[in-house]
Structure 1
Amino acid sequence: MALSTTARTPTPSQSTSNGGPAPRTNGKKPNESGYTARHLQVLEGLEAVRKRPGMYIGTTDSRGLMHCLWEIIDNAVDEALAEVCDHIDVVLLADGSVEVRDNGRGIPVDAEPRTGLSGVEVVFTKLHAGGKFGGGSYTASGGLHGVGASVVNALSSRLDVQVDRGGKTYAMSFRRGEPGTFADGLGPEADFTPFTSGSELQVIGKAKRGVTGSRIRYWADPSIFIKTATFDYDGLIARARQTSFLIPGLTIVIRDERGVPGTPGESGPHEQVFQHDGGISEFAEFLAPDPGVTDTWRLQGEGTFTETVPVLDAKGHMTSTAVERDCAVDIALRWGTSYDTTTASFVNVISTPKGGTHTTGFEQALMKVFKKQLEANARRLKVGGDKVEKDDVLAGLTAVVTVRLAEPQFEGQTKEVLGTSAVRQIVSQVVESQLNAQLSSTKRDDKTQATRLLEKVVAEMKTRISARLHKETQRRKTALESSSLPGKLKDCRSTDNERSELFIVEGDSALGTGMAARNSEYQALLPIRGKILNVQKASIGDMLKNAECAAIIQVVGAGSGRTFDLDLARYGKVILMTDADVDGAHIRTLLLTLFFRYMRPLVDAGRVFAAVPPLHRIETSASGRAKGEVTFTYSEQQMRARLSELDKKGRKVKSLQRYKGLGEMDADQLAETTMEPRHRTLRRVTLDDAEHAETVFDLLMGSDVAPRKDFLVESAHRLDQDRIDA
């Protein structure tokens, strides 16, 4: 086969420096022939950390900055775990640095045999070096990879460390991971002289007899972290609080001297001290957002497992060795009246926000236990053929799951997920045995709590199934055609959710007037009989059995509790239209309690309103040229002001009517004053302070009578008797 060639003018990239043609490359691309081993970079020591910081701390924004601080704090916490430290100070200083002090054993200052360097220099300059690789210094710790302190050092423009040990105070300084000395006092800008022939751990003073500990102060390198990276004070406080719960007896002091606007220390140094002796039981109570269905239960146990890990032998070689590990499990959990789930998990006091094998084992055991308990009590609880799911069991659960073991395996340096597979089975066995014993206890109080808990799980299961059925049906006309909505609902014709309105009215008499007064195109009416169930102190099961509550939830069409879906709500506005008297106010409060507890997203979205019907109708007689007119007033004060105004004008009042209920009003009067959008007044129900609102609902509508009685007695003097009828 003949090959043809075509002459081509060389491109600039193909020409030599003197304009001649480029040399031949035997058919290979130029960049292939020029790529050789000399182009490979070998990053040694801390250079790799500075080149790729994200590999070690995740990001270089505020999260990465905080991760560096956690690494130093966790080293002090590990001393507390070893029961050789009971006090830790963290100080955010005004110059941008941070200092962490502890009264632990102090970083070793003697020479490390293999490198000949002091223990301090090894810890802060050598990756994967430390006392947490199975050498017996720590049985359980948070720092495991031996890179924490060295990574912080590499990413700091300056780091100073002082150690009290053996009656002496030792000191050493580093600049971007390199040991040396700074010419003057504090600050990374000071003149720095690196060690050349050999590094030195200086003795700068004497320590009191028996006093040991470490002090580390560092300045994060601005060339590594972005300009907007700042220490998260709230996150630091939350971490300190949770650590004090996890290690009873440990005192942690957080001091902020930065004066940053928007923080508690903006007007001067601010200090917070944390110490909790109640352990994780107290932690679970702190995290719980609701009244309890059960007490806080403690599940404790331990197990052993064998894993093969590299171990340094006497000759300095890493040899794969089968090692037996101990795993201690400690869990505090309680169920509350709400449907939210709060789970905090920890491994050696290190938070694992994304879970791992310990939380997997915990949830698997929960499901196994509850399936067994529901099967054993199926007839009493009326379970039927329904199957319980994980969300049913987790509803209202607050749990703190902790495990302690040597050298756990995490997925990445950020330690957000536990990867040690054997932990799952150990946690599962402990939870299964302990929780089964708790739910099967014959003690009277334990039996009562177990019954309430199982009833709550069954109610959650039935709520979920009911919500699923709602989603499977068409939202408007199809639902009516299938007769799935209550027959007493007087629905509207419009399917436009933004425009449609649902009036919940009190009684059949108000329904009759409302039917004649409404605009049936977009206004629907649902009557209720008197006072509905007080759901604040009733169980979920009782609420679902109540005909009025069930009808309201069904008509709204978006489910209830944790399954509530705002997008499925059938009406743009829900308007509570009750009589303007004490009973009407009570009914409105009961309705609001139902919406607050089980349909809160509807309230959060500002789609729940209270109608404002008039109290009085004032009709004046015709006088001269002045025609008779009708005025509606909405309070006693407004009525008296209107009468005074008419008296001054010399107008004679023909009739003064006080409405006792909506049924007394004519349809045209109800439409004009309460239902017609152009003339009516609506009060939007909002939750500016949800926590305060929940406290008030619990006080006024809850099952605890004594606080409510005290509130009524203390507030009685503020009540105007004339308002009782209003």
Structure 2
Amino acid sequence: RGIPVDKHPVTKLSALETVMTKLHAGGKFGDSGYKVSGGLHGVGISVVNALSVYLRTEVKREGKIWVQEYERGKTKSKLKSIGLTKERGTTQIWQADPQIFSVLDYNLDLILKHLRQQAYLTKGIKILVRDERLAGKSRPYMFYFEGGIASFVSHLNHKHEVKQEKIFYVDKEQDGVQVELAVQYTTDYRELVYTFANNIHTVEGGMHLVGFRSALTRVLNNYARKNNILKEKEDNLSGDDVREGLTAVISVKLREPQFEGQTKAKLGNAEVRTVVETIFNDYFSAYLEENPRDARAILDKCLLAQRARAAARNAREAVLRKGVLDGLTLPGKLADCSSRNPEECELYIVEGDSAGGSAKQGRDRRFQAILPLRGKILNVEKSRLDKILANSELKALIVAMGTNVGEQFDVHELRYDRIIIMTDADVDGSHIRTLLLTLFYRYFPEIITDGHLYIAKPPLYQIKKGKEAHWVFTDEELDSLVKKLGGGEMVSIFAEAEAADSGSAEVQEAENEETKAAKANKLNIQRYKGLGEMNPQQLWDTTMNPQTRIMKVVTIDEAQKADEIFEILMGSDVTARKRFIQTHAKSVKNLDI
């Protein structure tokens, strides 16, 4: 509509200048502004203005174009009309202040993700994004979804096999709360639910999620009892049973949202729970009655989950028991540390017995524990919990960590502050690392989100010149060090993919030149692929010594994207995996065949 430009009765400035330069002056205050708003304090644009070395705002309103400029939050020019228009709206152009921000680059992927999400949440709206930083090379991005959050659910499930043909969707208002819900089940074992309040992603859920879950369990149990799918003596479906394979998007809009904390991660309005519960209960019950085939598919999925959970519970009770800190319950292959203070302890998950032996000898026994794994562990992407608990390698890892798994998982029982994956720098090592990452992402996500999971980075090369030895962790570092030690320009045969693409004769020639150059400068370059190639002291110096080692912390920046990648790489869809490999083949830098 364009920000108003008439004089503000209190500040005596224009409404535009008031909004741009004064805190707590946003459009959420009073009934004359927005019907609903995600803002808490009305400070958004004034803060952006204060953090910008330059900001220009252009308003198209009531037939005129108005312009005003600012500098670091202060008014630079008076509000003036520069022409006539039939359009309406506001355009903001700003430049972040380099005195405040060390990084001024904008993350296009993050911007696109957020705006795509907003287009789903406001069905029918068109959002156009153009990245003009690279002249002539940018392309526009248009987001428009007629189906709203039903389209969102369809997008979330586009790589998964769905159980129901028709996505459940409802959009209703009750007691001043607008509720929009979309639900579809897949064959997956996981729950994927996105919740929003006034278009803000409430990542920790809140009352709208509580109301939805309560109604979901009740409606499915009622339908199953009514249609004799659940027999009289059979147990009700649990919340975990009905949420397995569930994909849902919940969006509520209300006048006075009560968010918990500045990050707005959780919605606290108690009345929203009742409204969501009532609306979903009524309309989802009707959906099941009107779509008996989809209803049966959903219930079959829930019953299968119930049986699998019972089998997993029995398996878990057989292998896991309380008091895992007691040394007698720990796996025999675990070389535990002497400290019992989890905050200072770390567990190395090591590939193979040979590397495990070197790690056990080279470690600091006071706070470092070693758990060697034999061979490739089970691919949990294709397995249920009962199969996982029957696997000896995974069973040993679960018991060693002490957190339990599944329904009984408790991240606060983790026996080590750092879980470190340490594998060889070859194809097998990468595969084992991916299998372990899949395990943690699917069954121990809190270990990742709480910052406990790391990947060790052993060196790729050792360069010796006389008695002096240097450890090198990247190909780029190798090139730089060879040039520095050799005193001249050299081409590293290990780093240059161009040489490999040129043919075997040229590769051999490059190798010969490298060897000659190295010998002339008395450089000895050794490539390490296996951890077992290093002796215990070398492994300590390069990969395990907290003072010198390099580690990568594992994070989940975008859960949905991570979910898709794990599904492609480790799932059962061979065609999708082949397509992924073909698409990214040219991006491979270190091909080990």
Task: Tell me the alpha carbon deviations over residues 183-236 of structure 1, each in whole angstroms, 9 at most, x when there is no partner.
Answer: xxxx9xxxxxxxxxxxxxxxxxxxxxxxxxxx999xxxxxxxxxxxxxxxx999
User: Is residue 390 of structure 1 aligned with residue 242 of structure 2?
Assistant: no
Q: Give the structure 1 partner of residue 379 of structure 2.
A: 534
Q: Cα deviation per residue 1:348-405 (whole Å; 9 max; x = unaligned)?
A: xxxx985499858833533624875999679xxxx998x75435534563446799xx
Change (3 A) 1:411 1:536: closer
Q: Which residue among 332, 345, 348 is the counterpart of 1:487?
A: 332
Instruction: Please tell me whether the aligned partners of residues 395 and 460 of structure 1 are also in contact (alpha carbons under 8 angstroms).
Output: no
Residue of structure 2 aligned with 1:703, choices 559, 568, 572: 572
- 3-state DSSP of counterpart to 2:184: strand
Aligned: 1:362 with 2:231 = no
Could you tell me how far apart the structure 2 residues matched to 1:535 and 1:649 are? 50
SS in structure 1 of the partner of residue 343 of structure 2: coil
CA distance in 2, matches of 1:501, 1:548: 19
Which of residues 677, 686, 690 is equivalent to 2:546? 677
Q: Retained in 2: the 8 A contact 1:662–1:670? A: yes
Q: 1:629 to 1:421 in 2, by over 3 A?
A: closer
Conserved 8 A contact 1:490-1:525:
yes
2:454 maps to which of 594, 601, 609:
609
Pair 1:643–1:97, CA change in 2 (3 A):
same
* Equivalent position to 1:503, from 334, 339, 348: 348
1:335 counterpart residue number: 185
Whether contact under 8 Å (1:392, 1:458) holds in the other structure is: no
CA contact (8 A) 1:543 1:549 kept: yes
User: Residues 579 and 661 of structure 1 are in contact (CA less than 8 Å); yes or no, is this contact kept in structure 2?
Assistant: yes
Quick check: 1:501–1:574 contact (8 Å CA) kept in 2? yes
SS of the residue 1:479 aligns to: coil
Deviates more, 1:635-644 or 1:553-562: 635-644
Q: Give the structure 1 partner of residue 581 of structure 2.
A: 712
Q: Name the residue aligned to 1:572.
A: 417
Instruction: Determine the C-alpha separation between the residues in 1 that align with 2:272 and 2:552.
Output: 53
Report the Cα distance in structure 1 between the residues aligned to 2:251 and 2:371, rounded to whole angstroms.
Answer: 50
Work out whether 1:71 is the aligned partner of 2:31: no
Q: Once the 2 structures are TM-superposed, how far is the Cα of residue 592 of structure 1 from its aligned partner?
A: 1.8
Question: Take 2:411 and 2:245, find their aligned partners in 1: how far apart are those partners?
Answer: 20
Query: What CA distance in whole angstroms lies between the structure 1 residues aligned with 2:430 and 2:219?
Result: 43
1:480 is displaced (CA, Å) by: 3.6
- Are residues 344 and 370 of structure 1, via their aligned partners in 2, closer, same or farther at CA, if it must alter by over 3 Å? farther
| Cα distance in 1 for residues equivalent to 2:364 and 2:536 | 11
Q: Identify if the C-alpha distance between structure 1 residues 575 and 421 changes in structure 2 by more than 3 Å, giving closer, same or farther.
A: closer
What TM-score comes out, normalization by structure 1 length?
A: 0.47
Contact in 2 for aligned 1:489/1:526 (Cα 8 Å): yes
* Aligned positions of 1:576-615 closer than 5 A: 576-614=421-459
| Deviation (angstroms), 1:704 | 2.6
Amino acid of the structure 1 residue aligned with 2:354: S
Q: Work out whether residues 580 and 615 of structure 1, in 8 Å CA contact, stay in contact via their aligned partners in 2.
A: yes
- Residue 522 of structure 1 and its aligned partner are, at CA, apart by 0.7
CA distance in 2, matches of 1:716, 1:424: 48
Structure 1: which amino acid aligns with 2:193?
Answer: T
Is the Cα–Cα contact under 8 Å of residues 348 and 420 in structure 2 kept in the other structure?
A: yes
Partner of 1:662: 531
Q: Deviations over 1:498-534 (max 9, x none)?
A: 3211110112232223222222211111122211223
CA shift in 2, pair 1:368/1:447, >3 Å: closer
The 1:436–1:595 alpha-carbon spacing in structure 2 relative to 1, beyond 3 Å, is: farther
Matched-pair contact (CA < 8 Å) for 2:220–2:299: no
Structure 1 residues 331, 241: closer, same or farther in 2, change over 3 A?
A: closer
TM-score (norm 2): 0.55
Aligned AA (1:519):
D
Aligned-partner residue type, residue 246 of structure 2: L
The change in CA–CA distance for 1:678 and 1:68 in structure 2 (over 3 A counts) is same
Deviation at 1:570, TM superposition (A): 2.0
Kept after mapping to 1: 8 A contact 2:350/2:373: yes
Which has the larger share of helix?
2
Partner of 1:648: 520
Q: 1:573 to 1:359 in 2, by over 3 A?
A: closer
CA distance in 1 between counterparts of 2:395 and 2:520 reads 53
- In structure 1, distance between residues paired with 2:379 and 2:273: 48
Contact 2:241 2:302 in 1 (8 A): no
Q: What is the 5 A alignment of 1:427-442?
A: 428=281, 431-432=284-285, 434-435=287-288, 441=293
Over 3 Å counting, the alpha-carbon distance change for 1:420 and 1:719 in structure 2 is: closer
Query: 5 Å matches for 1:304-383?
Result: 332-335=182-185, 337=188, 338-342=190-194, 354-355=207-208, 359=212, 362-363=215-216, 365-366=218-219, 368-369=221-222, 372=225
Greater radius of gyration (CA) = 1
The separation in 1 between residues aligned to 2:570 and 2:60, in whole angstroms, is 51
Deviation at 1:459, TM superposition (A): 5.5
Could you tell me which amino acid in structure 1 is paired with residue 239 of structure 2?
A: K
Question: Which residue does 2:84 correspond to in 1?
Answer: none
Q: Are 2:154 and 1:285 equivalent residues in the alignment?
A: yes
Post-superposition offset of 1:488: 2.5
- Rounded to whole Å, the distance in 2 between the matches of 1:291 and 1:392 is 19
Corresponding position of 1:724: 592
CA deviation vs aligned residue, 1:610-654 (integer Å, no higher than 9, x gap):
22334566778xxxxx7x566655578578899667623457x7x
Distance 2:36 2:552 in 1: 54
The one-letter amino acid of 1:335's match is: Y
Q: 1:557 to 1:335 in 2, by over 3 A?
A: farther
Whole-angstrom CA distance in 2 between matches of 1:660 and 1:274? 46
State whether residues 501 and 524 of structure 1, in contact with CA within 8 Å, keep that contact through their aligned partners in structure 2.
Answer: yes
* Conservation of the 8 A alpha-carbon contact between 2:185 and 2:298: no
* Structure-1 separation of matches of 2:192 and 2:214: 20
SS at match of 1:668: helix
Matching of residue 525 in structure 1 with residue 395 in structure 2: no
Matched residues in 2 for 1:413 and 1:629: separation?
A: 68
Distance in 1 (CA, whole Å) between partners of 2:527 and 2:34 is 68
Kindly state the Cα deviation for residue 561 of structure 1 after the two structures are TM-superposed: 7.2
Residue aligned with 1:504, SS: strand
SS in 2 for 1:341: strand
Change (3 A) 1:657 1:462: same
Q: Is the 8 A contact 2:398 2:404 kept in 1?
A: yes
- 1:296–1:333 Cα contact (<8 Å) kept: no
Structure 1 residue ranges without an equivalent (≥5): 1-59, 74-92, 100-186, 188-214, 218-233, 245-250, 257-261, 263-270, 302-328, 347-351, 404-409, 621-625
| Alignment partners' CA distance in 2, 1:236 and 1:619 | 52
What are the superposed Cα offsets for residues 263-316 of structure 1, whole Å, 9 maximum, x if unpaired?
xxxxxxxx9998654476335435779846534645599xxxxxxxxxxxxxxx
Q: Distance in 1 between matches of 2:155 and 2:149?
A: 9
How far 1:703 moved relative to its partner? 2.9
Preserved contact between residue 358 and residue 535 of structure 2 (Cα < 8 Å): yes
Structure 1 counterpart SS, 2:344 = coil
Structure 2 match to 1:146: none
Aligned counterparts of 1:563 and 1:570: Cα–Cα separation in 2: 15
Quickly say closer, same or farther: Cα 1:372–1:236, change in 2 above 3 A: same
Secondary structure of the 2:375 match is coil
C-alpha separation between the residues in 2 aligned to 1:299 and 1:460?
26
Does the Cα contact within 8 Å between 1:333 and 1:397 map onto a contact in 2?
Answer: yes
Q: 1:532 to 1:276 in 2, by over 3 A?
A: same
Matches of 2:36 and 2:553, distance apart in 1: 50
